Amino acid sequence: MKLPVVDTSLPLLELFNPANNPLSNGLIELTLFICWVLTLVHVLKALRAGDQRPLFAWLSILVYAVVLEIITYNYVDNFGHERFSVMLYHHKLPLYITFVYHTVLYTCVHFARRLGLASIPEAAVCGLFAVVMYTPYDLIGPEMPWWIWKDHLTTEARWLGVPYSSTLWMFLFHGALCWLIARRDRKRGEQPISLLRFNADVAMISVNTLLLGFVLFIPYHALHFAGLSNGITLILFLAIGCVIVALAQPQFSGTLDREIRWISSLWHGFFIVVLAVAELPFLTQLSAGALIAISATVQLLCGTWRKNINN
């Protein structure tokens, strides 16, 4: 299997006029930028209240995302991005992709934490949240096209154009990220720690997320070589996650954080508009619409349940 080619003669950072790019490229960049700013506002509000934990989650997601993207561009040639307004790493990484990580993962970690679960069920629900929130983007993106999937061992098996490995990555890696963050936060508590210790924890969580995610993927590959179809294996993983969450009996404790609720509304609203105006295959529209409905409903419950109880 050949390694991808990274043209290092291209600049690490290059800017392009959004007017020269497809309209949908600029709109998703703008939407995700607003969501990203809202995650920062949420972090800053927590810091003013003396809580470093949201900042820790935010930085861990950033470091993990950048490291994973760079590893992928150098060792896995399975996709390529369209040109966007800000291109990083020799035209390989659109800046808005880092906003996607923060928008989805920061939101899912927050909502999972609101359910009052132990660390493993919390990780499972975070991974499931990430799947239903991210997969509409995974379905719609190549159709726009914001990126293309290339022929590669990791993308051979797909449903509606989405590699099964992409959906399982969202579940396993980000469940692992949530679990590691939760363990660290329970260990450290709410008390501030030194900058050196804080940064060391961020680096450790980011690296361990990659390592644990790769380990959790081993059964997927083992079952594939044993003859089980990738689709059945994915369903099996997701079903196990659902059982873990159901047995833990999650309780919707609600969130009154306006920033998180706005992020959820902007993300889901953007893709609802895309489904309404873009010419997409019927099954893609149907599947993405169903997932958006599930994701928005669950997050709406998490956002309003306590308010309704108090009333």
Q: Which residues contact 135 (CB under 8 A, 6 or more apart)?
A: 162, 167, 170, 287, 288, 291
Lowest mean pLDDT among 48-62, 209-223, 249-263: 249-263
Q: Please report whether residue 31 resides in a domain.
A: yes
Q: Give residue 111's pLDDT.
A: 87
Note the Cα 228 to chain centre separation in Å: 27
Q: Please report whether residue 1 resides in a domain.
A: no
**By three-state DSSP, how is residue 148 classified?**
strand
Q: Please report whether residue 12 resides in a domain.
A: no
Q: Give residue 308's pLDDT.
A: 37
Report how far residue 260's alpha carbon sits from residue 73's, in angstroms, rounded to the nearest whole number. Answer: 31
Q: How many helices (H) and strands (E) does the chain have?
A: 10, 7
Q: Please report whether residue 151 resides in a domain.
A: yes
Q: Please report whether residue 5 resides in a domain.
A: no
Number of domains observed in the structure of the chain: 1
**Mean pLDDT score across all residues of the chain:** 91
Q: Give residue 1's pLDDT.
A: 56
What is the domain extent for residue 239?
21-310
Q: Give residue 309's pLDDT.
A: 34
Closest CA to 257 of 42, 37, 57: 42
**Conformation bin of residue 68: beta by default, left when phi > 0, alpha when psi is -120 to 50:** alpha
- pTM over 0.85? The answer is yes
Q: How confident is the model at residue 2 (pLDDT cuts 50, 70, 90)?
A: low
Three state DSSP letters for 106-133: HHHHHHHHCCCCCHHHHHHHHHHHHHHH
Across the range 303-308, mean pLDDT stands at: 45
294: pLDDT strictly greater than 70: yes
pLDDT tens-digit profile of 200-229? 999 999 999 999 999 999 999 899 889 899
Instruction: Tell me whether residue 181 is exposed, middle or buried, using C-beta atoms within 10 angstroms of its C-beta: 0 to 12, 13 to 18, 19 or more.
Output: buried
Q: How confident is the model at residue 275 (pLDDT cuts 50, 70, 90)?
A: very high
Expressed in angstroms, the distance from the first to the final Cα of the chain is 60
Q: Please report whether residue 13 resides in a domain.
A: no
DSSP 233-281: HHHHHHHHHHHHHHHH---------HHHHHHHHHHHHHHHHHHHHS---
Q: Please report whether residue 111 resides in a domain.
A: yes
pLDDT tens-digit profile of 177-190? 999 999 999 888 77
274: pLDDT strictly greater than 90: yes
